[in-house]
């Protein structure tokens, strides 16, 4: 993925900590109506990790991912990115539809590159290369309304891959897809992480998705359980 916005940043070594939560919590609202989405959580992701965060809907998985990505600020505690140049080196695949309807597939894929100031002559080539990585090059000129759910998710992955992030966060990427399509999208995510050398964290409530990743963490009522709690 030559020409990505992060090409000039140092590459983390295997085992380097990319993102770390130290007793990080996130509460929405105040007083009696306050909702604690994530309780004090200590957690880190290292270069090369393949992590599944499992748990039912409403357990806080999405909020935790948003904290890791820098989209949410912790109400208390701290989130840091020791081996990264901040959240700009993180790519997030959202749970629901995230493509801009007025832009075609290659324009959607290229948008983060444009916003990052990548030279115009490199933007389209990089976007097309990202689409080829996820097997969607033939969709380049289609509008989002012309795509299936699985195709839309592949393009969303391509948009992340185009940035060549050091860490890919995917929030329930198969949650709105049938089993076969979901497995194909998961294949694309795993391949994209392998080819770009990115660490990968996926939230899911599907055990079949979780078993594809080497590390499993469970989340329940806003608490990320430690391995000992998960075994008990």
Q: Count CA within 13 A, CB hemisphere, residue 34.
A: 10
Segment 114-140 shows an average pLDDT of: 92
Per-residue pLDDT band for 231 (boundaries 50, 70, 90) equals: very low
pLDDT (0 to 100) of residue 179: 87
| Domain assignment present for 191 | yes
pLDDT (0 to 100) of residue 38: 97
- Taking 3-state DSSP, the helix, strand and coil percentages for the chain, each rounded to the nearest 5, stand at 35, 25, 40
What range does the domain containing 199 cover? 17-231
In this predicted model, what pLDDT tens digit does every residue of 39-67 receive, in sequence order?
999 999 999 999 999 999 899 999 999 99
Give me 147's structure tokens.
Answer: 């795509």
**Res. 7: pLDDT tops 80:** no
Q: What total number of domains does the chain contain?
A: 1
The domain that contains 84 carries what CATH number?
A: 3.40.50.300
Segment 144-172 shows an average pLDDT of: 93
| Domain assignment present for 21 | yes
| Domain assignment present for 78 | yes
Segment 84-95 shows an average pLDDT of: 89
| Domain assignment present for 89 | yes
Q: How far is it, in rounded angstroms, from Cα 84 to Cα 36? A: 28
Q: How far is it, in rounded angstroms, from Cα 55 to Cα 138? A: 36
For 78, residues 6+ apart whose C-beta sits below 8 A from its C-beta are 21, 22, 23, 24
| Domain assignment present for 76 | yes
Segment 16-22 shows an average pLDDT of: 96
| Domain assignment present for 57 | yes
Per-residue pLDDT band for 2 (boundaries 50, 70, 90) equals: very low
- pTM for the full model? 0.88
| Domain assignment present for 129 | yes
In this predicted model, what pLDDT tens digit does every residue of 164-201 receive, in sequence order?
899 999 999 988 888 888 888 899 899 989 988 899 99
Q: What DSSP character marks residue 178?
A: -
| Domain assignment present for 115 | yes
Segment 154-160 shows an average pLDDT of: 92
**Nearest one of 192, 174, 194 to 184, comparing CA atoms:** 174
**Res. 8: pLDDT tops 90:** no
pLDDT (0 to 100) of residue 192: 87
Q: Count CA within 13 A, CB hemisphere, residue 147.
A: 27
């Amino acid at each position: 993925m030559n020409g990505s916005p992060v090409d000039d940043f140092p590459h983390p070594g295997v085992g380097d900590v990319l993102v770390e939560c130290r007793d990080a919590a996130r509460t929405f609202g105040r007083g009696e109506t306050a909702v604690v989405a994530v309780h004090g959580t200590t957690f880190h992701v290292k270069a090369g990790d393949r992590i599944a965060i499992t748990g039912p809907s409403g357990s806080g998985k999405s909020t935790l991912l948003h904290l890791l990505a820098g989209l949410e600020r912790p109400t208390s505690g701290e989130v840091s990115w020791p081996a990264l140049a901040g959240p700009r080196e993180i790519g997030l695949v959202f749970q629901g539809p995230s493509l801009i309807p007025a832009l075609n597939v290659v324009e959607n894929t290229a948008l983060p590159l444009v916003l990052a100031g990548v030279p115009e002559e490199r933007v389209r080539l990089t976007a097309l290369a990202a689409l080829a990585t996820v097997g969607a090059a033939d969709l380049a000129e289609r509008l989002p309304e012309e795509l299936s759910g699985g195709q839309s998710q592949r393009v969303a992955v391509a948009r992340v891959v185009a940035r060549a992030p050091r860490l890919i966060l995917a929030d329930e990427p198969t949650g709105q897809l049938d089993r076969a399509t979901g497995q194909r999208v998961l294949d694309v995510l795993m391949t994209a992480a392998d080819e770009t050398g990115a660490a990968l964290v996926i939230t899911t409530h599907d055990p079949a998705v979780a078993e594809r990743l080497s590390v499993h963490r469970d989340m329940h009522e806003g608490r990320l359980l430690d391995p000992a709690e998960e075994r008990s």
